[in-house]
Homo-oligomer: A and B are copies of this chain.
Amino acid sequence: MADMAGVSVATVSRVLNSDEVVKYETKIKVMNAIKKLDYSPNRVAQRLRATKKSSKIFGLLIPDIQNPFYVDVIRGIENYAYANNSAVVIGNFSQEVKKEKLYIDILKSEAVDGFIVAPSNEKDVYIKDLIKEGFPIVCIDRGLKDTEVDLVKVDNQRGAFNAIEHLIKLGHTRIGFVTGNKLIPTTLERLAGYEEAMKKYNLPLDPEIIVGKKSDYESGAELTAYLLDLPNPPTAIFTGNNLLTLGALETIHSRGLNIPVDVAIIGFDDVYWSTSLNPPLTAVKQPGYEIGRRSCELLIQRIQASDRPVASIILKTELMIRKSCGAQSKEVKKTDSE
C-alpha cells in the first residue's frame, strides 16, 4: 500500500487519520492508491496500537432476546447509535451468568467503547468489574446495588401499583400475581407495587396467590394453571412481564375460559400485537424504544466525559386499558341497560 503510493506507512497512516500536516499532493497520491487497492486499515492493529482511539462500537448485553421488550430497547439504542456514527454489537446471554461473562470478555477485548447492559442481578460482579476497570457503562432496566452507575429504567413499582389499582377499582379483590424471577430487581419492584396497592385498599396479601419462578412463557403457563386450580382461585391475574402474560393466556385459552368474565388478566409490558390478542390486552406499557434511546445518549455522554455525575433516568409507564380486565363487561352492561 505504502509502496504503491511511493510513501512510507507513516504517511499513509497520517492521511488515514487526516493529519493536517501532510502535503496536499502527497495526500492525493495516497488517496488514489487507497482507492485503487480498495485498501482499508486493519482494525485489529489499530486497536492494539491506539488504545485511546474510539472504535465507535457499543456492546449491548441483553438478557433475553426473545423478550419483545428488549427488542424495542435494542432498536432505540441502535438507531441512536447509528445516528451518531456508531454501531451496536449485541450479545444475548439468555439470563445465564456464564454466558454473560463470556460475552463480556469477547466484547471487552474486541472493540467496544462502552457497554449498555441489563445486569443479570443487582450485584452482578462482572458488570461491577467492568465499571472498576473504567469502561463506560449504562445500565438499563435494572440497577446495581452499592455501585454508582448510569441507569435508565421505568418506575416499576408505580406501574404495578397502577395495574393493581385498576383491577381493584373494577371490583376485584382476590388478585393473583405471577411474578418473574425473583433474582431480577424489577420483579421485586413490581411486587412492591402490588403490595402497596393491596395495602392501600385494605386487601389481604395472600402468599398463596403470589407465585413466581422464572420470567418465561413456560412459567407463565404453569403458574397460571396452578392459580386456576386453587380451591379459591383469583378472579384476576397480574402477570409480571409479556412472556408470562402469553403463557397465562395460553393456559386460560386452553381451558376454554372467558376473559375477563371467568378471569381477568393484566400484564406488565405492552407489545405491538396487544390489540390483536384475544381479547385485546390491558397492559402496563414500558417505553422500550425510549429506554434504548436515552441509554445510548447517556453512554455517548459518558464516553465523552467519564467524570460527569451519574444519572438515573426513570421513565413513566402507561396503563393501556383495553378489554382483558372487565372494562368490556361493563360496556356490555351499559349497552344492555340502554
Contact = CB atoms under 8 A, between A and B. Distances in A.
A43 B106 CA distance: 8
Interface stretch (A28-36, A152-160, A276-284, A295-303): A276-284
Contacts of A332: none
A330 interface: no
A217 B75 CA distance: 15
- For A65, A89, A94, A217, the residue with the greatest tally of chain B CB atoms inside 10 Å of its CB is A89
Contact of A110 (B44, B88, B249, B278): B44
Interface residues of A, number: 45
A226 interface: no
Interface in A35-82: 40, 42-45, 47-48, 57, 65-66, 68, 71, 74-75, 78, 82
A278 B111 CA distance: 46
Given A44-B110, A71-B66, A276 B278 contact: yes
Main secondary structure of the interface of A (DSSP, over half): helix
A103 interface: yes
B78 A92 contact: yes
A105 B40 contact: yes
B111 A106 contact: yes
Contact of A111 (B42, B45, B110): B110
Contact of A91 (B89, B110, B273): B89
Contacts of A48: 42, 44-45, 48
A106 B57 contact: yes
Contact of A75 (B40, B66, B90, B106): B66
A57 B108 CA distance: 13
A210 interface: no
Interface in A261-300: 272-273, 275-280
A59 to B, nearest CB: 9
Interface in A76-123: 78, 82, 87-92, 94, 99, 102-103, 105-107, 109-111
A321 to B, nearest CB: 16
A44 B109 contact: yes
Contacts of A88: 91-92
A185 to B, nearest CB: 24
Closest 9 CB pairs of A and B: A43-B109, A278-B278, A90-B90, A249-B276, A44-B47, A110-B110, A44-B48, A110-B111, A89-B89
Given A44-B109, A71-B71, A278-B279, 12 more contacts: A40-B109, A43-B109, A44-B44, A48-B48, A65-B74, A74-B92, A82-B99, A87-B91, A87-B102, A90-B92, A246-B276, A253-B276
